[in-house]
Amino acid sequence: MRIAVLALQGAFIEHERMLRQLGAEVFEVRQLRHWQQPKDGLVIPGGESTTMMRLLHDLRLFDPIRQAILGGLPTFGTCAGLILLDRQHLGTMDILARRNAYGRQLGSFHTVSAVQGIDSAIPMTFIRAPYIEEAGPAVQVLAEVGGRIVAAREGRQLVTAFHPELDGNPAVHRLFLDSV
pLDDT at 178: 96
Decide if 163 is catalytic. Answer: yes
Which whole-number Å values give the CA distances from 106 to 4, 66, 109, 110, 121, in the listed order? 32, 33, 8, 12, 25
* Contact of 76 with 42, CB cutoff 8 Å: yes
Query: 144 an active-site residue?
Result: no
79 a catalytic residue: yes
The stretches in the chain having pLDDT less than 50 are none
pLDDT, residue 107, reads 57
Rounding to the nearest 10 degrees, give the CA dihedral for residues 80, 91, 155, 44: -30
- Which pLDDT score, from 0 to 100, does residue 105 have? 55
Residue 11's pLDDT is 85
Q: What is the pLDDT of residue 104?
A: 59
Q: Which of the residues 14, 154, 165, 173 is marked catalytic?
A: 165
List 14, 15, 16, 163, catalytic entry? 163
| CATH homologous superfamily for the domain 2-179 | Class I glutamine amidotransferase (GATase) domain (3.40.50.880)
114 close to 121: Cβ distance less than 8 angstroms? yes
Point out which residues pair with 42 in neighbouring strands.
4, 75
Q: What share of the chain is helix, strand, coil (3-state, %, to 5)?
A: 30, 30, 40
Query: Which of 15, 79, 154, 173 is labelled catalytic?
Result: 79
